Amino acid sequence: MISYAQALSRAKAAKSDWNEEERISKAVITWVDSEWEHETGVENEGMTDSEFKAWVEENAEEFAREAAEKAGTTFEEVDRIDYEYETIDDGGAFRDDYEAYAEFEWECRTGR
C-alpha cells in the first residue's frame, strides 16, 4: 500500500492542475419585457453540470414568468442563459477516495 503523501504527489505529478476543477454554481436567465432586460438567478443545488443545464433550459421560461410576476411586469421571451462557475477543492475528494481505497485494501488483506 502506498502512503497518502505518495498518492498525493503522484496525483499532482500526473496533472498539474489536479485541484482546479470547476462546476456550474448558478444560472443567470436574461429575459425581456416590452421595455427592458431583466435577470433572474437559479442556484445549482447538487446537480451535475449536464443535469443542471438541461433542467434550467427546460424550465427557463417558467422561472422568467415567475420573476416577471414578482416584478409586476409581463414576460415576453428568454434572451439568453449564462452560467457562473466555481472552483471545486478536489483535495477533500482525493482524501476521501484515498481513505476508501486504504480501507478496502486493509479489508482484503485481513479477509473481512
Tens digit of pLDDT for each residue in 47-104?
999 999 999 999 999 999 999 999 889 999 999 999 999 887 667 777 888 888 888 8
At residue 64, the pLDDT reads: 94
- The pTM assigned to this predicted structure is 0.64
Domain ranges of the chain: 19-110
Q: Which of 41, 28, 9 is nearest to 83 (CA)?
A: 28
Cβ atoms of 55 and 47 closer than 8 Å: yes
**Helices and strands: H and E segment counts in the chain:** 3, 3
Task: Answer whether residue 31 shows pLDDT above 70.
Answer: yes
Task: Answer whether residue 25 shows pLDDT above 70.
Answer: yes
Kindly indicate the confidence band of residue 17, based on its pLDDT and cuts at 50, 70 and 90. low
CA 34 – CA 77 distance, rounded (Å):
10
Task: Answer whether residue 13 shows pLDDT above 80.
Answer: no
